[in-house]
Structure 1
Amino acid sequence: MSTQSAAESLSAPFFIRGSLVEGDQVTHRSRDLAADFHTPTLDLDIVVSSRSELPPLLNVGLEEIVDFLVETGQRLQLERNPHMRLCLDRVAATNPLPRRVVENLYLAAPHMLTRASLWSQVEANFADPNVLDGWVTRTDARGNKGAIRAFPPRMVHMLAGNAPAGCIASIAQGALVKAVNLFKMPSSDPFTTVAVLRTMAEIDATHPIVQSMSAVYWSGGDEAIERTIYRPQFFDKIVAWGGGPAIQNVIKYLGPGIQLVSFDPKSSISMIGRETFQDDAILADVVERVAADTTIFNQEACLASRFVFLEADAGQAERFCAALVQRLGVDRLFGSAVAPLPPADVRDEIDVMQAMGDEVKVFGRLDGRGIVLLSEEPVDFAPTNKTSNVVMVDSLDDAVRYVNVATQTIGVYPDDRKAQLRDRLASAGGQRVCRVGTANSHVDGGPHDAMYPLSRFVHWMGDDDISDTNSNCAVSSDSVARTDPIVL
């Protein structure tokens, strides 16, 4: 890499249905690190396919798709994949995560494409996975027959930039539902998606999975491109991962025939009971677990804890905060000892709090190793870049009022209080509860953002085959009682 020019090292090619498209005609700038990278000119005519063409994966069996994805996972092993190794060097220039953390994400990537993981997603999303492979017949209580199919959708994926290798999950999901997929890469990682698709093409560039995948980059908000692409003539769904402005930008293009499946910005919390203070060993263990949840991707991930609701008096809370700030500044598998500083507006807020010192007590310094804010009410900004707001509460029941539909993951200690709280947390809008310290672990096939995404991606098609033309004609009071309601 040292012998390459900056333009060469930050060249971001496209991948269009089995073919690599190279070129440095257009220069873009990454959002987070303001690094320039270069792409080919985007030719919309080759990116968009006609609806008159049946999806390439329509008649490919799910077993074959899973086999292909499993082989892809095996070939993504970093030590034997030149595309991923080159990509690692490039991502380090555009993504705020440290190179070591990105490398660990790549090392874990093959585990996303195991047979067990892929099948668990399918079986959790579809009561009968056969609907993905063909028409499944059914008969209702009145003897009316019909068939349904989970038809392959046409989807634009707006990929998230805060988790390099997250694109692998989107690629797998697109393949499992047999979709025609256009991946819009993020400016903080315009490389990884193409590296994965190149790996798939080396297995078989003509395979219907590969022929169903394209990955390109354009600057978000470019109306000349988006007003063309975001049309129901071309796509059924926009699957959007991103911050508030990115989601709002997509919403303006929605209309009849095109749907948004949004993985929009979320915030996660920890709820810690007073049992933490039974002895020093328990306190140390809980603090370590909260620190681990807080520092996932240096707090860039939605599932990283930002607020800790702590049952404690003032003295206990100060002990907790003093211990927590020490454990934030530790190297972890998916987090670094020193992270980028919070944005300037957040730093200004913290400086004011530190100067006033009455309502919020500050532990640590703004040096990238983490900072803890102790308060009786949550701060009115989103803690980020290893900033934790510890909020004292009399009871975890009181903390439920701070949960809403934007609360993704809730880590709880002690473990037996999860069951006590989970119905109320769900009613408040929370989406997932777990043991504190396990926010970055998942049960395969579980819901994401309060939904089962694969079942939302597909185009559900019904074929009603009712032979009795009079079966729904109301001619008597008895028959009126038996008819279906009119659906407008």
Structure 2
Amino acid sequence: MSTATGYLSAPFFVRGELIQGDDNVHRSRDLGTDFRTPALELDAIVVSRAQLPPLLDTPLTEIVDFLVEAGERLALDKNPHMQRCLDLVAATNPLPRRVVENLYRSAPHLLTRAGLMAQIESNFHNPAVLDGWIAHTDPAGNDVAIRAFPPRMVHMLAGNAPAGCIASIAQGAMTKAINLFKMPSSDPFTTVAVLQTMAEIDPKHPVVQSMSAVYWQGGDESIERTIYRPQYFDRIVAWGGGPAINNVIKYLGPGLQLLSFDPKSSISMVGQEVFESPDAVADVAERVAADTTVFNQEACLASRFVFLETDDRDQARTFCAALADRLAVDRVFGSAVAPLPPPDVRDEIEVMQAMDDEIEVFGRFDGRGIVVLSEQPVDFHPSNKISNVVMVSSIDGATRYVNLATQTIGMYPYQRKAELRDRLAGAGAQRICRVGTANSHVEGSPHDAMYPLSRLVHWMADDDIYVAESNSALPADRK
């Protein structure tokens, strides 16, 4: 929606209530678009620890039922809140409107019963710990009751995937948390639209009463030094970039933990087998292009480097030409023409090409995609549909370029995954998949090398110890 002054209006959502107002003016990071928000009332978004979480005694089955119904109501053709967001997000987010629309159309798939239960069952050996105290006796005969208690969380949402907030909302609901969502400047709309949809089911439902979504400019100490305190929250779940993560770190301390889905980089590994036929080259080039162009290469799982097993430059040129051609097509979550590479990246590529005969460039600086062929990885971070194809004599040798920041590795041929996965894990990689499937996921799999739901909850133990080595006085015969 627009105000009379021409600004975009971004309302807040606080535990079932839509808060509207044009008190504060902000500017989106990527497109520089102004939008207005209500005044942020800190007392309204902080819940006293004297108050138990609204979802504490709500059965997990009821929470899943509610999320599934919300997912069905998020169907874009039937949801006016999501429809209105399309134009708003298009004004603040660098993704094309068509791609945002496709993301919205995929939203119901994030809240299916099978998908939600797969997450719960993979994260918790006994999901009953979410609903109550579960008794256990240790080998010494001592008793304990354990519960996965609801946390109090601030979610710093990412701006590169406008529907990504739905996954965070689901995580917050399944862990029965009290949740405060800090929306990104590139999308200060979608989270509120999703929560409005949930409120239309039942504004008093404990899921709705556990959720608030607001915006403030990251780094605003007048807000953050108040909110980021352990008496109010015990988890900060951060999806932001490096500066955002670094800003949060200074507030961490005893009782306030950071769960960071920090920026990652993904790669492809392509074996010599790709050159067995022209059809194989075409197929793998298409698959690598699909992995590269997810969200126009804004996603962490988007491939940026391709380690190509060949010592034959003509073979490498053939693959690069095929890849450059397939970068320049429209896809469900990527566009044929993306935002242009930054001028400094363009300058660096042109200087490299002029000074190094081993550097070759395929494509133009027109947003349709560029492939840089080299024998060593480039120093800059490929983005805006730039792929760096690196010739390596052996795929095994390419593992030296893998580190803890490597999220997804697309592999061809697929049979070589089993051969290399231990070494890749040892180097720090978090996921290996068939090339071309980076944007698909096995339900319930780890994310960023962890099972996040089990990391989010507050694990509490109630001990009854009957036999113990205590700190009492030693018997005479043991002094």
TM-score by length of structure 1 reads: 0.96
Are the structure 2 counterparts of residues 96 and 467 from structure 1 closer, same or farther at C-alpha, using a change threshold of 3 Å? same
Instruction: Name the CA distance, whole Å, in 2 between partners of 1:121 and 1:270.
Output: 27
Residue identity in the other structure for 1:395: S
- What is the aligned partner in structure 1 of residue 373 from structure 2? 374
Q: Secondary structure at the match of 1:27?
A: strand
Residue 418 (structure 2) pairs with residue 439 (structure 1) = no
Question: In the aligned structure 2, how far is the partner of 1:304 from the partner of 1:134?
Answer: 40
Q: For each residue in 1:334-375, what CA deviation from the matched residue of structure 2 results, as whole angstroms up to 9, or x when unmatched? A: 000000012222122112123335131111111000000000
Deviations 1:445-477 (A, max 9, x none): 110000100000000001001245777758579
One-letter code aligned to 2:240 = G
**Identical positions, percent:** 74
Give the 3 Å change call, closer, same or farther, for CA 281–27 of structure 1 in structure 2: same
After superposition, give the CA deviation of every residue in 1:269-307 in whole Å (9 maximum; x if it has no partner).
Answer: 000000000000111000000000000000000000000
Provide the rounded CA distance (Å) in 2 between the counterparts of 1:479 and 1:78: 74
Match of residue 383 from structure 2: 384
* Alpha carbons 1:69, 1:113 under 8 Å: kept: yes
- Aligned pairs for 1:101-250 (under 5 A) are 101-250=99-248
| Paired AA for residue 198 in structure 2 | M
Letter in 2 for 1:406: A
Aligned partner of residue 141 in structure 1, secondary structure: coil
> Contact 2:165–2:190 (CA<8 Å) still a contact in 1?
yes
Q: Distance in 1 between matches of 2:394 and 2:469?
A: 62
Give distance in 2, aligned partners of 1:400 and 1:61. Answer: 46
Once the two structures are superposed, residues 131-181 of structure 1 have per-residue CA deviations (whole angstroms, 9 ceiling, x without a partner) of 000000100000000111000000000000000100000000000000000
Contact 1:7-1:37 at 8 Å conserved across structures: no
Q: How does 1:40-439 map to 2 (within 5 A)?
A: 40-312=38-310, 313-439=312-438
CA contact (8 A) 2:184 2:215 kept: yes
| 1:84–1:196 contact (8 Å) kept in structure 2 | yes
Mean Cα deviation higher: 269-278 or 6-15: 6-15
> What is the rounded CA distance, in whole Å, between the counterparts of 1:45 and 1:473 in structure 2?
46
CA distance in structure 1 between the aligned counterparts of 2:474 and 2:200, rounded to whole angstroms: 64
Q: Aligned partners of 2:473 and 2:346: how far apart in 1?
A: 70
User: Cα gap change, 1:316/1:470 in structure 2, threshold over 3 Å: closer, same or farther?
Assistant: closer
User: Which amino acid in 1 is paired with 2:420?
Assistant: L
Gaps of 5+ in 2: none
CA displacement at 1:479 relative to structure 2: 9.6
Label 1:147 to 1:394 Cα distance change in 2 as closer, same or farther (>3 A). same
For the residues of structure 2 that align with 1:6 and 1:395, how far apart are their CA atoms?
Answer: 62
CA distance in structure 1 between the aligned counterparts of 2:272 and 2:100, rounded to whole angstroms: 36
> Distance in 1 between the 2:292 and 2:4 partners?
35
> Quick one: which amino acid aligns to residue 349 of structure 2?
I
Show structure 1 runs of 5+ residues with no match: 481-488
Q: Specify the SS of the correspondent of 2:344.
A: helix
Q: Distance in 1 between matches of 2:20 and 2:81?
A: 14
Report how far residue 105 of structure 1 moved: 0.3
Query: Counterpart of 2:113 in structure 1: which amino acid?
Result: R
SS at match of 1:127: coil
Q: Matches of 2:398 and 2:478 in 1, distance apart?
A: 54
1:437 is paired with a residue whose SS is coil
Alignment partner of 1:219: what SS?
A: coil
Secondary structure at the counterpart of residue 400 of structure 1: helix
Tell me, in whole angstroms, the C-alpha distance in 2 between the residues paired with 1:64 and 1:292.
Answer: 38
SS at match of 1:449: coil
Supply the AA of the counterpart residue of 1:446.
S
Q: Given that residues 285 and 319 in structure 2 are in contact (C-alpha distance below 8 angstroms), is that contact kept between their aligned partners in structure 1? A: yes
Distance 1:25 1:471, change over 3 A: closer
Partner of 1:485: none
Q: 1:474 to 1:432 in 2, by over 3 A?
A: farther
Number of aligned residue pairs: give it: 478
SS class of match (2:423): helix
Whichever residue aligns with residue 205 of structure 1, its letter is P
Q: Deviations over 1:358-409 (max 9, x none)?
A: 1311111110000000000000111001000000000001100000000000
* In 2, Cα distance between equivalents of 1:248 and 1:383: 22
Per-residue Cα deviation, 1:79-131 (whole angstroms, up to 9, x for no partner): 00000000111000000000000000000000000000000000000000000
Corresponding letter in the other structure for 1:450: A
TM-score by length of 2: 0.97
Distance 1:311 1:479 in 2: 67
CA distance in 1, matches of 2:7, 2:219: 26
Question: Is the contact made by 1:473 and 1:479 (CA closer than 8 Å) also made in structure 2?
Answer: no
Check 1:277–1:134 CA distance in 2 against 1; reply closer, same or farther (3 A cut): same
Contact 2:140–2:467, Cα closer than 8 Å, also in 1:
no
Paired AA for residue 37 in structure 2: T
